[in-house]
Amino acid sequence: MCLLLITSYSSLALTSKTTNIINGNSPYLTFDNGRTRITNTDGLLGISLSNGDKYTPTSNNSSLVNPIVLPNAGQSFADIAMLVPTNTDSVALSSLIDTPYNYWGDDDGDGQGGNGITATGSLSLSIVDKNNQAVTRNEVLAICNAPYKLTLLNTEGILKTRYGVPNESRFTAGNVSYYINPKESPSVCFARPILINGSDYYAGPGSMWNPDKGFLPQSVIPSSYDLNFPTTGANNLYFDLEIGGINQALSWAPVSHGGIMATMTNSTNSSVRVTLTGPVAKPLQWPADNPGEIDRPSLPQVFELVGRDSHGNAIVKYGFELKQWFVNRGHQEFDYPNISSWCANIKYRMPNVKDLTNTSCQGANSGYWCEGVVGATPSSPNNYYQRRIGGGFFAEWGSVSYYDSAEFNYYAYWTSDVQSTSNHQFVVSSNRGNAARYTSSDHGICVYP
């Protein structure tokens, strides 16, 4: 009896030991030594900012108009932590658990030794700016290219240890896009006049001119506003300010100085149109031999345009200094003496070539017809204008015939400059800014001062 009882209790003890399984913890992926433990797709597609803020697909509410703002100025995408290493845009999860990364952990100590842990699946990253241009991880974010879109995408995968219960974490396929802005104040990114004839021969230096966007602001300091576009003007010419870092349309009060007004319209959360109005010849004055005086603006004049939010706070500013004002004689052609007399009658003057263009008689389109021409400096390397601030009226504003209601022509305009070898006047094309000697009839434009 005793022996039977002993055998019976031993059997019960053995059965109890082999049927109670101890449950531990799943293996996890991590990019910060275990502070962030990733066991599902939501975590796999997560990011962490340098201040500790974390975002995952379930908590992500960023958008084009509500982007995530980085905590510090001057940060790059390398300052945003994620599972994708900074030296690649695509990685297999099996690479992440191996050297040099070792981006995994298991609180139960499972997964150690050869083949102790395995992983399948992959993770990829893409970053583009607001113009859909690809961006590298080490690029510092710029407000004028924001918001950026950071997209993470993963395939289905498993992280699995050889032993342990549970011994795996599963990841379903997924993707997420985060919209991100730098910590930077709103600013004007470009001042965009007509872009026609703004590339190839006509393109100015990259620090000043973007063929797709227009002129880059050269100064935000009021004492140096004269470095910005425009320095010349005429009635009903306009340009658009492209603004970065705002999420609402701003209000802009008109600015008037010296008989010239800058009026802002079509304000959006990314741009506003600036239209100049001032002294102009009326259609009845165009054909007249004695049109009478036209008001002369008081120049130079500095204009500061201020965009304000709904509370009246100044959010962004743009300044420029107008140094010359031009008056156009409509669409009819006249000989040089007639145009010269007309400009004198309205108390303006005939322009020199350098008032209109920075062309030079070299390179493309050069020849005897432009020998001796003196354009604005720095000079274009060809007999075409080069889009530059201070490069002359046409060099700044481009093909002026395309401005609605400005009443300019596509063709050439008389200047007071004479080619010494032929004793003929130079004319300048409003479309391309090239100069040539001429003897017949052409269009008229006058300048003050």
Strands 238-244 and 301-308: unpaired
| pLDDT tens, residue by residue, 374-391 | 999 999 999 999 999 999
Tokens of 447: 């300048």
| pLDDT tens, residue by residue, 306-355 | 999 999 999 999 999 999 999 999 999 999 999 999 999 999 999 999 99
CA distances for 413 relative to 198, 325, 330, 339, 437, angstroms: 20, 16, 11, 10, 11
In CATH, the architecture of 187-326 is Sandwich (2.60)
- Least Cα distance to 176 among 267, 87, 37, 45 occurs for 45
pLDDT value, residue 202: 98
| SS3 (DSSP) at 165 | coil
- Where in the chain do CATH 2.60.40 domains reside? 187-326
Tokens of 402: 């395309």
Distance CA 4, CA 155 (A): 59
Distance CA 292, CA 347 (A): 8
pLDDT grade, residue 25 (50/70/90)?
confident
Distance CA 319, CA 113 (A): 67
Contact 398, 193 (CB under 8 A): yes
| pLDDT tens, residue by residue, 102-124 | 998 887 665 565 567 899 999 99
Report the CATH fold assignment for 336-448.
Mannose-Binding Protein A; Chain A (3.10.100)
Cβ partners under 8 Å of residue 260, min gap 6:
233, 276, 277, 278, 279, 297, 301, 322, 325
- Where in the chain do CATH 3.10.100 domains reside? 336-448
Handedness of CA 100, 103, 108, 114 (dihedral sign): negative
pLDDT grade, residue 4 (50/70/90)?
very low
CA distances for 318 relative to 84, 113, 221, 230, 419, angstroms: 40, 64, 9, 11, 40
CA atoms within 13 A on the CB side of 91: 22
Q: Which residue is associated with the tokens 């006047």? A: 425
Cβ partners under 8 Å of residue 192, min gap 6:
213, 214, 215, 239, 240, 241, 242
pLDDT value, residue 162: 75
Handedness of CA 103, 108, 113, 118 (dihedral sign): negative
pTM here is 0.86
pLDDT grade, residue 151 (50/70/90)?
very high
